[in-house]
Structure 1
Amino acid sequence: MLPKVELHLHLEGAAPPAFVRGLAKEKSIDISGIFDAQGGYVFTDFWHFLKVYEAATSVLQTPEDYARLTRAVLEQCAASGVVYAETFVSPDFCGGRDLGAWREYLHAIRDAASAVAVQGGPELRGIVTCIRHFGPDKARETALCAAETVGDFITGFGIAGDETSGQPKDFRWSFDCAREAGLRLTAHAGEWGGPQSIRDVLSDLGVERVGHGVRAIEDLALVDELAERGIVLEVCPGSNIALGVFPDWRKHSISELDRRGVRVTVSTDDPPFFHTTMEHEFQMLHRAFDWDDGQFARISRTALDAAFCDADTKAKIAKVLEAA
């Protein structure tokens, strides 16, 4: 129960199965095919996972739904000792990229997060995320929504989805738009696309963090470059293992990347889909690599240094980490 900082958490992907089933029942939506006999999410591979993810998200239809989701997700974060989190949110799912509708959804999410923080729960910030397999044109609309709502809650911009769809350079306009609006930048890469996908988001999109990035280990020159440039990797070990990027915890690249000087952090990605929590991630990393409290404290400090929040929030969270 060390205090933890999480940088890579998809809001819809963190929805508890029971929460999604409850909303589906309220709205008379049949999504029974996305659950297994035990009530958890079920999928066969990454691309099937994307379809199940979008089916689960389909029950989230109003700003109030997202407010309820935000409270449920932060409750789970707090149970694992998370004191600060950044979550990916997308106007694609919140109002169909219509700016007026997006503002309503965002207001509901932000108010719910603020209420949790006031009550002593985790601090939350939002990273507006375009969906790669939805294409560059929709990404431009998403970027404009992000640029119009940058502020104390929306602090970053990124891209998620199918890494094999299109090229990072196709989304350059969207990232330039977000950068000019003052948003910090991250991008999913190096999970399915290999080392070259990491090089591409660094050169074509100019990101300062990479979501996953774990296949950098296949190119040691790239590993050295990441270390030298101080690029932060938002590593999600449990997710990578559940989806078959690595066969087991001991063969995951996070420890070797860390040993070689890359700034790695730990997150859960879509925790209920992968049967994980931040507490579980820490436990498994301890078992696999014998990481101790000092190592985990360093990882959390790296995550806080790389967080897309303001200096006052960082100072507040730093005191919590130091006290522990």
Structure 2
Amino acid sequence: MAREVRAAREIRELPKAHLHLHFTGSMRPGTLLELADRHGIHLPEALTSGEPPRLRATDERGWFRFQRLYDIARSCLRTPEDIHRLVREAAEEDAADGSGWLEIQVDPTSYAPRLGGLIPTLEIILDAVRTASRDTGVGMAVVVAANRMKHPLDARTLARLAVRYADQGVVGFGLSNDERRGLARDFDRAFAIAREGGLIAAPHGGELSGPASVRDCLDDLHAQRVGHGVRAAEDPRLLKRLADRGVTCEVCPASNVALGVYDKPEDVPLRTLWDAGVPMALGADDPLLFGSRLAAQYDLARTVHGFTDAELAVLARQSVEASCAPAAKKAELLAGIDKWLAAGA
């Protein structure tokens, strides 16, 4: 009797949460072109070719190029309507990829000059999040992120702003940009403000810098989640610490390769973190620049790293459990994951 061949379960039907998505980086390439044309902004060929730009940010020149492209794209977001469109489309893309909960990360400082200041900017973003969530069915929240390249006092201002809107859709406080610049401990007071205000601490670490940057996130900022965190794989004791504390790493495999953190998809240490028991939440980071969204990260785990459907379901559960979704939303998504796995191929 011929052996029955069964198709793999559809990854886009696996319920999941998306915890590492940057605001401008979530934009659709076609939307960027339309907004640039509308606002009379010249885009470099790297953003108009239809292909993800070739990036390698492991040296300062490469990071500067990446940041320059991101800043140019961000300059195309000039009106409340632009913000609403970006958020709605991000939610639509996540819904198509099976995400039932999205925490989008943003530094409102970058948009404030065109939108009337920090408070109006965050209120526009939160209004867009509420509207997009209502229209798409994807639960959404905001992580306000400070910039390592700016003064720590700026981070404190953002932390106070984030806490002010903690009951209106802000759930976390982050720290982004080049982790090789700015010591984590310089931002400890900002994170203390955020934690005291009920927000989770979710700084970046362990991407462009090694395990020490992850330890700094734990020791100095009391991180509950770490953005990326993959370089922890180089330190077995740090892996055990993450696992023992249940600190989730927001792992973005395609981003890691695109920025040159690892040369090939198979080099991303998903299995090392998995085997050490470190919780992971796969994320797309900046799809505009890296060319792939959330479901593609799960597909990479399956096809490159050999994760079974049962293991993919665990990854999806870990993303939900590490999220700030309300209890009812978590229960809904976890039940959906169990149903996906039980349904078979």
Tell me the TM-score normalized by structure 2. 0.88
* Identity among equivalent pairs (%): 34
Quote the residue 1:20 is aligned against: 32
Q: Does 1:117 align with 2:139?
A: no
Q: Which amino acid aligns with 2:278?
A: V
Q: Rg: which structure is higher?
A: 2
Work out whether 1:173 is the aligned partner of 2:173: no
Report which stretch shifted further, 251-260 or 45-54.
45-54
Alignment check: 8 A CA contact 2:15 2:333 kept: no
Give per-residue Cα distances to partners, 1:237-273, cap 9 Å, x unaligned.
1100111111112221111110111112211111121
Show the counterpart of 1:273. 289
Distance (Å, rounded) in 1 between the aligned partners of 2:130 and 2:32: 23
Q: Determine whether 1:71 maps to 2:88.
A: yes
In 2, distance between residues paired with 1:174 and 1:96? 22
Which residue of structure 1 aligns with residue 329 of structure 2? 313
Q: Does 1:6 align with 2:23?
A: no
Secondary structure class of the residue paired with 1:5: strand
Q: 1:147 to 1:105 in 2, by over 3 A?
A: same
Alignment-mate amino acid for residue 77 of structure 1: D
Equivalent-residue separation in structure 1 for 2:19 and 2:87 (angstroms): 16
- 8 Å CA contact 2:257, 2:264 repeated in 1: yes
Find out whether 1:246 has 2:256 as its counterpart.
no
Q: Is the 8 A contact 1:62 1:105 kept in 2?
A: no
Deviations 1:148-170 (A, max 9, x none): 21124111101000101110011
CA distance 1:23–1:36, change in 2 (3 Å)? closer
Q: Distance in 1 between matches of 2:114 and 2:163?
A: 12
Alignment CA distance shift 1:97-1:181 (3 Å): farther
1:197 and 1:101 map into 2 onto residues whose CA distance is 32
Map Cα deviations across residues 50-86 of structure 1 (whole Å, 9 max, x no partner).
Answer: 1111111011122222111101111111222211111
Deviation string 1:273-323 (CA, Å, 9 cap, x unpaired) is 111122211112111122122111111111111112332332333333333
Alpha-carbon distance in 2 for matches of 1:86, 1:181: 18
Q: What corresponds to 1:164 in structure 2?
A: 180
* Contact kept? 1:159, 1:188, Cα under 8 Å: yes
Distance (Å, rounded) in 1 between the aligned partners of 2:52 and 2:182 = 31
Helix, strand or coil at the partner of 2:289? coil
**Secondary structure, counterpart of 2:324 in structure 1:** coil
- Secondary structure of 1:266's counterpart equals coil
Partner of 2:145: 129
**Aligned positions of 1:24-103 closer than 5 A:** 24-38=36-50, 40-41=52-53, 43-44=55-56, 45-96=62-113, 101-103=117-119
One-letter code aligned to 1:307: S
1:235–1:265 CA contact under 8 A, matched in 2: yes
Residue in 2 aligned with 1:260?
276
Gaps of at least 5 residues in structure 1 are none
